[in-house]
A and B are shown apart, each in its own frame.
Chain A
């Protein structure tokens, strides 16, 4: 069965780029343009993988990542972070939220800083989905 991959990114050019890579590699792309829509899509479609931006309107990828990793029904969904925000800042923000909100979330398995070549993105997706 074709695996579903949700792309959560506010930039239409980035969504288009990722969707093209997904289609070329025989995955079924789903798209959302912000954190709120992203969570709705995840709950509705239970994708096999989420490709997640960080800086977006209506809910950042940082909060969405945290919501997913602290939800026992959704925590197993693999996530590729795909963003212009530095990994260092992402990790610091999660540490700050760990202190503030309690709990601890795992580091993302794959963190890609934009821009990346299509091959690099495809390789990351294959690594998670096979």
Chain B
């Protein structure tokens, strides 16, 4: 579960060198190889009436990307890291999947989708499309937001929201592999209001206590692995509560595992993860389940 190689997908407007720089903390864990990918969307160079295929535009865009990548690569090479780069005219998600197949990265880093509301409604989000089609973990980087909340130390204080699924266990393995990078982790579980069947305070507290004990056990496991951990039980709508906890504890990122069960995959990916990945101001580390790949 170590992150040795990461695929950094950039359109330059969303992810730049400072974002990459904040990921270099992973060097102290295991990171040794960064692969850059810039996808020039076909419609930017597509055939147009009167002018045909915009070959000159393609060359210009490729060279612009190449110059940026050379500059970034020089910095990484000087640190003794291995670097690769792809600049392709293609469609984003299929191209990412193609490069994932060739390079087998341990983590895909992608910026937040910039599709408009209407486009998202019909085409869906790139991030969600990617989660559905890969079993490689994804870091959705939030950067250049109005409040510029992305911290320099991305792994300093992550919030891990567990739903106790198998993928949650997989997430724990990733967290342990990042022990040299993580400062302190906040581990939380959100009890849905519907799970609190009884209006009786005692019963509600019993549910809270049980979840708290489960979380504490997980914190012990993480502390044994050398990571400071704190547990939190929240009650309510998972998306809102995770976001709330991230703010309260000044999380530097949110770590989420998606459900392993195909039947509820859509509900989980389609609600909590999707909304957090797309709308949260916090960077999100998403760990897809084993059975998420659409064939």
Cross-chain contact B77 with A57 (CB below 8 angstroms):
no
Q: Chain A contacts of B75 at CB under 8 A?
A: 89
A85 within 8 A of B: yes
A34 closest partner in B (C-beta):
B84
Q: Chain B contacts of A89 at CB under 8 A?
A: 73-75, 77-78
Besides the known contacts A59-B84, A86-B74, A93-B77, 16 further A-B residue pairs in the complex with CB atoms under 8 A apart: A10-B85, A54-B73, A55-B73, A57-B86, A57-B102, A57-B103, A60-B82, A60-B84, A63-B82, A84-B70, A85-B70, A89-B73, A89-B74, A90-B77, A92-B77, A96-B78
Within 49-98 of A, Cβ neighbours of B (below 8 Å) are at 54-60, 62-63, 84-86, 89-90, 92-93, 96-97
B97 within 8 A of A: no
A99 within 8 A of B: yes
B121 within 8 A of A: no
Cross-chain contact B80 with A93 (CB below 8 angstroms):
yes
Q: CA–CA, A59 to B35, complex, Å? A: 10
B78 closest partner in A (C-beta):
A92
Q: CA–CA, A100 to B77, complex, Å? A: 13
Q: Chain B contacts of A85 at CB under 8 A?
A: 70, 73-74, 77
Q: CA–CA, A59 to B78, complex, Å? A: 16
Q: Chain A contacts of B86 at CB under 8 A?
A: 57
Distance of B225 from chain A, by nearest CB (Å): 26
Cross-chain contact B82 with A57 (CB below 8 angstroms):
no
7 A/B residue pairs, CB under 8 Å, sorted by A? A10-B85, A55-B73, A57-B35, A60-B77, A60-B84, A84-B66, A93-B80
B contacts with A, residue count (CB < 8 A):
20
A84 closest partner in B (C-beta):
B70
Measuring CB to CB, which residues of chain B are less than 8 angstroms from any residue of chain A? 35, 66-67, 69-70, 73-75, 77-80, 82-86, 99, 102-103
Cross-chain contact A93 with B78 (CB below 8 angstroms):
yes
- Which of B67, B82, B102, B103 has the most C-beta atoms of chain A within 10 angstroms of its own C-beta? B82
For the complex of A and B, the 10 pairs showing the least CB-CB separation, nearest first, are A96-B80, A93-B77, A89-B74, A92-B78, A57-B84, A84-B70, A55-B73, A100-B80, A97-B80, A89-B77
Cross-chain contact A58 with B69 (CB below 8 angstroms):
no
Distance of B147 from chain A, by nearest CB (Å): 34
Q: CA–CA, A7 to B200, complex, Å? A: 76
Cross-chain contact A55 with B70 (CB below 8 angstroms):
yes
Cross-chain contact B83 with A60 (CB below 8 angstroms):
yes
Q: CA–CA, A51 to B69, complex, Å? A: 21
